[in-house]
Amino acid sequence: MKIIRAKNLGFCYGVKRSLAMAQKEYPLPVYTYGELIHNKRIVDMLERRGIKAINNLSRINSGTIIIRSHGAPKEIIEEAKEKGLTIVDATCTFVERIRKIVSEKYSDGYKILIFGKKDHPEIIGINSLCDYSAIVIDSEELPELNFSDKVCLVAQTTASAEKFHNIINKIRKCSLKTVEIFDTICYTTMERQREAELLSQKCDKMLVIGDPKSSNTSKLKDICVRFSSTYLITNADELKSIKFNVGDNIGIVAGASAPTESITEVIQYMENNYTEAQNEEFLQAVDAVGTNGKLKDGKRMKVKVTAADEKGITVNFGVKIDGYISADEADLNDAYNPDNYKPGDELDVILLSAKAEDGLYRFSKKKVDKIKEGDKIVDTIRNGEIFELVVDRETKGGLIGKLGTYTVFVPASQIKEKYIHDLKPFIGKTLRLTQLEIDDSKRRIVASQKVILERERKEREEIFWANVIPGVIVNGKVKGISKFGAFVSVDGYDCLVHISDVSWTKFRSIDDVIHTGKKYDFVVLKADREKGKVSLGYKQLQKHPFELAMENHPVGSEFVGKVTSIMPFGAFVEVEPGVEGLVHVSEASNVYVKNINDVFKVGDEVKVKVFAIDPDEKKITLSAKACMPAPTEEEKAVKAEKKESKPRAPKKREIVKEDDSEWSDEDTGNNPFAELLKDLKD
């Protein structure tokens, strides 16, 4: 019988994260909203630690509520806030992504279509964000949709990837004006489903480990039954009722919430009862004694204690000559105590020499114990658990180290994601490994670090892409600056801040605004997973200078600003860096000004009063005249003189006279554009 395990077994990222969060210290009592994960073993364990699962908050008035990886309806979160509970939000990043998409699209007027189970807690939580208006479908049948509908399609994180892609193809063919599709099935679900499909195609029987209530476990079962006899089991006890045949290939997959203990138990049960290793060990033991009575060095055997004293243990193994285990070969920790060995006790030993010395065969129990200890470690890594190994030496094509009594070989191609040619630097270093192959008979393990690195990179990638939704704020480190923008590393991924998104105001170099090596918050502007490109904005998180200008210089306030440019109709004065206000020529002085250049020149500092602000047009009207005292009689006379010396064409004056009240010189101060028009007419 061959047992083939899927590569991805054990808790997924979201489950591990929620469990880690639940282990921390919080104000008591601590509750989880619903079962933290769909697994009785874990729920019972949490209950033993005093963490109780509840389905509503009606009786809870203090303490902590942990929101599980599925998320919770928004009313529950609001209720918890109102009650002043400590909220620990363990909603999985991938679920959070759907929640953000749905909230945003719903407020943009989209109809929300979800592929998933209507009564699943993840879907109930998501549906609450669009006021329970979502259409939830759990088959490939599309609901009736109108051409004019704006539709947003998402999927439950644990939905069937195959079915969802069929739905996507169907909806693309519908004549809808607007449809936005988000593939929100989480990567761990997709990988496990793909593995389940491949494994079940080459296995006679499939064991799906997990809780029947778990959505992703049920999906795995649905996939496996299509290709082989499938059994959904929660623990090793349930294996007893399954009939396995000699020569069967047995595949093992597990749901994302199946604990390692359950998986290990199942694998150990299968290996102990059905694999060749077990048979081989048995044959070796028989062979050690041999049918012709010949003994072989180094064989493992079972012997029975006949007597024990300070010097050692006398044993018998069914032949005329007794065996002997000296005190220094009796105990792994060199703590031999004859009182622990009673006549009749069975011991697992290794024959040190097939030649009897002083009329006794010599055995070692210590060596077997060492092997067993090695076995114990090896047993914990059989289902892919990560283990550490100190590299002893290099060999042709890889690295060698010892794990208990096993020799571990790491091929050069399995050390990093790229092939490693120079192996020397790894000697004495510790590698994090997962086993690829364990050969118990030869006590050899082939292991890989590359598999872990690839898996972790993929996990980081998935989390990264789930988080970079336009509008989300991320923290990143500026790695470098070029002519067209800044390269920013967010969780190890290079993103670009285009030069136009660095600042609202002019700058000489990007380095004047953000500095290489420093960390800043940025907003995601665009994320294109297919092209692997993410655009970030820095200026979008800074106050727009116009907002600053409005805050610092409200209507009626006065300030001293610099003249930045001069036009025939007036002068522009800096209000805030990047924001200018206009002092119309009629507002430049308390006396008549014919030419603005007579009063202002670029660089002058002038006191001005804010007359008006138009936030829509982003215009600020200023007056220098309003900050000046009323003109003296003498100034008025000069003004009158200047007016006299300025003849006007009668025709034009007639036209002006039509609206004389508005166009008189005295009144131009109330109409900032009057002088401009007058100049144009002149």
Query: In whole angstroms, how far apart are CA 19 and each of 32, 210, 391?
Result: 11, 17, 33
Based on CB atoms, which residue is closest to ligand SF4, 184 or 621? 184
Q: β-pairing, 178-181 with 150-155?
A: parallel
Q: Which stretch binds ligand SF4 (CB under 6 A): 11-19, 289-297, 429-437, 446-454?
A: 11-19
Query: In whole angstroms, how far apart are CA 477 and each of 251, 514, 517, 518, 537?
Result: 45, 10, 6, 5, 13
Q: Do 102 and 126 contact (CB within 8 A), yes or no?
A: yes
List all residues 6 or more positions away from 625 whose beta carbon is below 8 Å from its beta carbon. Answer: 586, 587, 588, 589, 590, 669
d(CA 219, CA 208): 10
**Identified catalytic residue from 35, 122, 195, 576:** 122
Choose which of 256, 351, 447, 571 interacts with ligand SF4 (CB under 6 A). Answer: 256
Q: Answer yes or no whether residue 448 interacts with ligand SF4 by CB under 6 A.
A: no
> DSSP E strands: which ranges in 68-142?
86-89, 111-115, 135-137
Least separation in angstroms between residue 166's CB and ligand SF4 is 21
Instruction: Look at residue 119 and give its three-state secondary structure.
Output: coil
Q: Which stretch binds ligand SF4 (CB under 6 A): 184-192, 318-326, 395-403, 491-499?
A: 184-192
Based on CB atoms, which residue is closest to ligand SF4, 15 or 330? 15
The reply to whether 388 belongs to the active site is: no
Sign of CA dihedral 432, 438, 444, 448: negative
Based on CB atoms, which residue is closest to ligand SF4, 256 or 288? 256
Q: In the chain, count H helices and then E strands.
A: 17, 33
Choose which of 67, 92, 154, 159 interacts with ligand SF4 (CB under 6 A). Answer: 92
| Omega of the bond leading into 29 within 30 degrees of 0 (cis) | yes
What residue is closest to ligand SF4 based on CB? 14
Least separation in angstroms between residue 187's CB and ligand SF4 is 7
Binding to ligand SF4 by CB under 6 A, coded x per residue (else -) over 13-52, reads xxx-------------------------------------
Based on CB atoms, which residue is closest to ligand SF4, 348 or 461? 461
Q: Answer yes or no whether residue 378 interacts with ligand SF4 by CB under 6 A.
A: no
Choose which of 186, 196, 267, 451 interacts with ligand SF4 (CB under 6 A). Answer: 186
Query: In whole angstroms, how far apart are CA 44 and each of 19, 202, 287?
Result: 13, 36, 47
Least separation in angstroms between residue 8's CB and ligand SF4 is 11
Choose which of 26, 31, 33, 94 interacts with ligand SF4 (CB under 6 A). Answer: 94
Least separation in angstroms between residue 452's CB and ligand SF4 is 17
Query: Of 539, 542, 535, which is closest to residue 510 (Cα–Cα)?
Result: 539
Q: Answer yes or no whether residue 158 interacts with ligand SF4 by CB under 6 A.
A: yes
Angle at 214 between CA 210 and CA 217, to 5 degrees: 55
Q: What's the number of CA atoms in the CB half-sphere (13 Å) around residue 292?
A: 2
Based on CB atoms, which residue is closest to ligand SF4, 228 or 383? 383
Least separation in angstroms between residue 257's CB and ligand SF4 is 8
2 — phi, psi (to 5°)?
-115, 135
Choose which of 127, 157, 262, 448 interacts with ligand SF4 (CB under 6 A). Answer: 157
Q: Which stretch binds ligand SF4 (CB under 6 A): 89-97, 235-243, 365-373, 447-455?
A: 89-97
Choose which of 64, 200, 216, 262 interacts with ligand SF4 (CB under 6 A). Answer: 216
Q: Answer yes or no whether residue 91 interacts with ligand SF4 by CB under 6 A.
A: no
Least separation in angstroms between residue 318's CB and ligand SF4 is 55
Based on CB atoms, which residue is closest to ligand SF4, 189 or 449? 189
Q: Do 306 and 343 contact (CB within 8 A), yes or no?
A: yes
Q: Do 592 and 642 contact (CB within 8 A), yes or no?
A: yes
Least separation in angstroms between residue 37's CB and ligand SF4 is 8
d(CA 295, CA 287): 8
Based on CB atoms, which residue is closest to ligand SF4, 91 or 364? 91
Angle at 272 between CA 269 and CA 278, to 5 degrees: 165
Q: How many residues bind ligand SF4 (CB under 6 A)?
A: 15
Angle at 352 between CA 347 and CA 356, to 5 degrees: 100
Q: Answer yes or no whether residue 188 interacts with ligand SF4 by CB under 6 A.
A: yes
Least separation in angstroms between residue 219's CB and ligand SF4 is 10
Active site residues per annotation? 122
For ligand SF4, the binding residues (CB under 6 A) are 12-15, 69, 92, 94-95, 157-158, 186, 188-189, 216, 256
